[in-house]
Amino acid sequence: MTSKERVKRALSHEQVDRVPVDYLANPGVDARLKRHFGVRPDDDESLRQRLGVDFFEIIPRYNGPRLHSDLEGRKTDMWGIRTRWVEHEDGGYWDYCDFPLKDADEERVACWPMPSPDDFDYESIPQQCRESEGYALLIGNPGAGDMINTAGMIRTMEQVLVDLTMDEPAGLLFMDRKNEVQLEVLRRSLEAAGGAIDILWLGEDLGTQRGPLISLELFRKHIRPRHQKFVDLAKEFGIPVMFHSCGSSSWAFEDFIEMGITIVDTLQPEAKDMSPAYLKGRFGTQLAFHGCISTAGPVAYGSVEETVNNVRETLEIMMPGGGYAFSPTHMLQDNSPTENIVAMYDAVHRFGRY
């Protein structure tokens, strides 16, 4: 069974040979794993093969002009979001800073430089698909269609929550301009792929550890109708949607089902109403799941034995009836020991067979 067959069948609740496997890690973890397995730093394929990964992300690369300049000690992306490097005891990360549109009015947001869908490389997509044809191919990412997080990176989280609550035109305009670009890029990418893409991936962090980040009313007013455009695009191309959300998000799953979303991603088990048993019992016949192995759980803070037991227990809950793909809940972080990560992937191949 190829990875493409395994993923498509498993996420449709059909019989497969083993649970599909995905891999998400920050650069520090990725480098450590490659050293551990004797893999060259640029050899992503060998690491995927060693871990038994079944998914591959197709990326339409941006080839347009530089829209925003870096500042001293800062990086700035194509949307104008700025980050600065922050050291911590296990390494470091690029954290959001400056928030250049924090106090922007609607006129300034309307003039803010954003990438054009014309400036992405669609010609390379058929080749990307051919080179990875055995994998289940994803297009998009957790930031596709995302409104709260992405806008929060440039306006602050506090301002974005005010934007949604108060129908603030400037904040909503930023979200809509960004989403219009992403939607068109995804459309052209799917057309270029010629039917090779298997899943459209989009996201929005909807929860804290303790409950919803916003009300269901606000979700239905601002988030759901904007995400529906992405779901409808996937329907046009006959592929399912996988929805990423950190934190407690199961409160929105009934709406996901109504919208036509069939796969949910991340599934942090320590968050409210997100345990594998709760999700499988409540939604297991209507939704498929991708995630559940917490990057804040035993893989980060436990022993090898505890990591293996966590994987085995999760699989025992999620495997029956299909509809599950094994994945960390987010990027594996620098505080996760190499031996735990290796044990995690060895365990899924040991206990994840039907």
Contact by Cβ (8 Å): 338, 33:
yes
Instruction: Give how many domains the chain has, as a whole number.
Output: 1
Domain CATH number, residue 159? 3.20.20.210
* Sign of CA pseudo-dihedral 329, 330, 332, 334: negative
Asked if residue 37 belongs to a domain, the reply is yes
Asked if residue 40 belongs to a domain, the reply is yes
Asked if residue 181 belongs to a domain, the reply is yes
Distance CA 172, CA 222 (A): 9
Distance CA 37, CA 245 (A): 31
The tens digit of pLDDT for each residue in 68-83 reads: 999 999 999 999 999 9
Contact by Cβ (8 Å): 313, 350:
no
Q: What is the pLDDT of residue 300?
A: 97
The tens digit of pLDDT for each residue in 38-51 reads: 999 999 999 999 99
Quick one: average pLDDT of 122-140?
97
Quick one: average pLDDT of 170-189?
98
State yes or no: pLDDT of 199 exceeds 90.
Answer: yes
Domain housing 171: 3-64+103-351
Instruction: Assign 91 a pLDDT band (cuts: 50, 70, 90).
Output: confident
Distance CA 347, CA 313 (A): 11
Asked if residue 93 belongs to a domain, the reply is no
Asked if residue 340 belongs to a domain, the reply is yes
Q: What is the pLDDT of residue 90?
A: 83
Scored b (16 or more CB within 10 A) or e, 153-192 reads bbbbeebbbebbeeebebbbbbbeebbebbbebbebbbeb
Quick one: average pLDDT of 171-192?
98
Task: Provide the pairing of β-strand 136-140 with 199-203.
Answer: parallel
Contact by Cβ (8 Å): 290, 22:
yes
Contact by Cβ (8 Å): 141, 203:
yes
Instruction: Assign 88 a pLDDT band (cuts: 50, 70, 90).
Output: confident
Mean pLDDT of the chain: 97
Token pair, residue 142, equals 């957790």
- Where are the strands (E) in 190-278, listed by range? 199-203, 241-245, 263-266
The pTM assigned to this predicted structure is 0.96
DSSP secondary structure code for residue 332 in this structure: B
State yes or no: pLDDT of 89 exceeds 90.
Answer: no
The tens digit of pLDDT for each residue in 243-268 reads: 999 999 999 999 999 999 999 999 99
Chain position carrying tokens 């934007």? 163
Asked if residue 76 belongs to a domain, the reply is no
Q: How far is CA 73 from CA 66, 84, 98, 102, 153, in A?
A: 18, 6, 12, 20, 17
One-letter identity of residue 298: P
Closest CA to 24 of 208, 242, 291: 291
- Kindly write down the DSSP assignment for every residue of 245-270, as one continuous string: E-SS-GGGHHHHHHHT--EEEE--TT
Distance CA 162, CA 171 (A): 9
Contact by Cβ (8 Å): 252, 216:
yes
Q: What is the pLDDT of residue 247?
A: 96
Asked if residue 80 belongs to a domain, the reply is no
Asked if residue 217 belongs to a domain, the reply is yes
Q: What is the pLDDT of residue 264?
A: 98
DSSP secondary structure code for residue 329 in this structure: S
